[in-house]
Amino acid sequence: MKIKVGIVGYGTIGKRVAWAVSKQPDMEVSGVVKTRPNWEVYSAIKKGYPIYTLKKSVETFRKKGIDVSGTFEDLLKDVDIIVDATPAGTGAKNKDLYSKYGVKQVFQGGEPVDLCEVSFNALVNYDRALRNECVRVVSCNTTGLVRALHALSKVSRLLSVRAVIVRRGADLKEIKKGPIEGLVLKPTKPPSHHAIDVKAVLGDLDIMTYAIVAPTTLAHMHVIRAELANNVSKEEIMQAFKTTPRIVLVNGDILSSTAELREFSKEFIREKGDIYENVIWEDSVWINGNEVMFVYAVHQEAVVVPENIDAIRALAGLITEPEESIKITDKVLGIGGWFK
């Protein structure tokens, strides 16, 4: 029997998670909750997902000719797990409702750190999420950081991490966000929330993060400096990157920007150009004794999608080993193996 998944919020993350759920062998999309009948709902309809909305909006949807399967609460009666991909902070308000219907919950990184017991990354704490009631999948930047640091920690213990995060200003569709010119130091007083969020996943760690917002929509870029407990070789670090799921390596002689990367992805990797992986520039990796620096890109719209899928499996509890869940997710979504 498949895990019945409801998607609440069908925006940037919701639509991608719904599509990814629909491709998994052990899951199905029971329905999508959409509060406004804007353009995004038509893509959900075309994909054949049952549409649900707020009770007060049912008539509005029907007047637009949208076939509504029921209300938000109707959907909750019929699902095992909800992926809440509503705007930051809305998920927390929905939590009691989910609990009332006995539905397990996957929240996104915009929700408060303490909303669930577990701030989730599949590589790190699948076991803690196993059969839990609720997990919070950390944000795109934090997911990128956690993967990269997890890979390093396989080589040697992390003593300290200093990261500069150049954030995309908005997603393409976000017409009210900025900047469209200039660089924004956000926050001006460090750390950015990423340091706190990484610790929510990895535990106590000497980490400091600065974030600069840039006028771009395509992807974030992170520059990492880490000190490890031991001196390390470039070979060891590269090997750790190569053997960590959801990390791919590219070289500067092939491409050097998020722009080329996204175009490359559309053409050669995936139809929609989504990039689920941390894309590390292998020539950016610099080793100096126990010091490691490197740079990677994070596609903010897509990077948390595989983590959402694994989070669903962990909560459902049928697959107990993270490696197994990751393997299924990555095979279905075609993650990794770009240059094989």
Give the active site residues: 140
| 159, two tokens | 């003593």
- What binding mask, one character per residue, do residues 133-162 give for a second copy by CB under 8 A, x or -? -----------------------------x
Of 45, 54, 115, 293, which lies in the binding site for a second copy, with binding defined by CB under 8 A? Answer: 293
Give the dihedral sign, CA 219/276/314/151. Answer: negative
User: Taking CB under 8 A as the rule, does residue 21 contact a second copy?
Assistant: no
Nearer Cβ to a second copy (102/182):
182
- What binding mask, one character per residue, do residues 89-128 give for a second copy by CB under 8 A, x or -? ----------------------------------------
Which of 198-222 are b and which e, b meaning 16 or more Cβ less than 10 Å from the residue's Cβ? bbbbbeeeebebbbebeebbbbbbb
Nearer Cβ to a second copy (80/277):
277
User: Taking CB under 8 A as the rule, does residue 258 contact a second copy?
Assistant: yes
Which residues 189-248 are close enough to bind a second copy by CB under 8 A?
189-190, 208, 210, 212-219, 221, 223, 225
Residue 209 CB, shortest distance to a second copy, in Å, is 10
Nearer Cβ to a second copy (90/284):
284
Of 151, 152, 228, 295, which lies in the binding site for a second copy, with binding defined by CB under 8 A? Answer: 295
- SS3 string, 129-172, reads HCCCCEEEECCHHHHHHHHHHHHHHHHCCEEEEEEEEEEECCCC
Residue 247 CB, shortest distance to a second copy, in Å, is 16
Tell me which H or E stretch contains 260.
helix 258-264
* Strand partners for 158: 228
Burial of 90 (0-12, 13-18, 19+ CB in 10 A): middle
User: Taking CB under 8 A as the rule, does residue 340 contact a second copy?
Assistant: no
Residue 34 CB, shortest distance to a second copy, in Å, is 29
- Compute the C-alpha angle 206/211/212, nearest 5°: 155
Of 256, 266, 270, 327, which lies in the binding site for a second copy, with binding defined by CB under 8 A? Answer: 256
Kindly list the distances between the CA atom of residue 12 and the CA atoms of 27, 97, 140, 159, 249, in Å, as whole numbers in the listed order: 20, 23, 12, 35, 25
Nearer Cβ to a second copy (165/311):
165
Nearer Cβ to a second copy (72/281):
281
User: Taking CB under 8 A as the rule, does residue 252 contact a second copy?
Assistant: yes
Nearer Cβ to a second copy (179/334):
179
Binding range to a second copy, per CB under 8 A, among 93-101, 102-110, 135-143, 252-260: 252-260
Nearer Cβ to a second copy (137/218):
218
Which residues 174-193 are close enough to bind a second copy by CB under 8 A?
179, 181-190
Taking CB atoms within 8 Å and a gap of at least 24, the contacts of 201-207 are 201/119, 201/120, 201/121, 201/124, 201/125, 201/138, 201/142, 201/146, 202/124, 202/146, 202/149, 202/150, 202/153, 205/149, 205/158, 205/161, 206/158, 206/159, 206/160, 206/161, 207/160, 207/161, 207/162, 207/163
Residue 133 CB, shortest distance to a second copy, in Å, is 38
**Which SS3 state, helix, strand or coil, does residue 107 take?**
strand
Whether residue 146 contacts residue 124, with contact meaning beta carbons closer than 8 Å, is answered with yes
- Residues lying near a second copy in the complex (CB under 8 A): 162, 164, 166, 179, 181-190, 208, 210, 212-219, 221, 223, 225, 251-252, 256-260, 262, 281, 283-284, 286, 288, 293, 295, 297
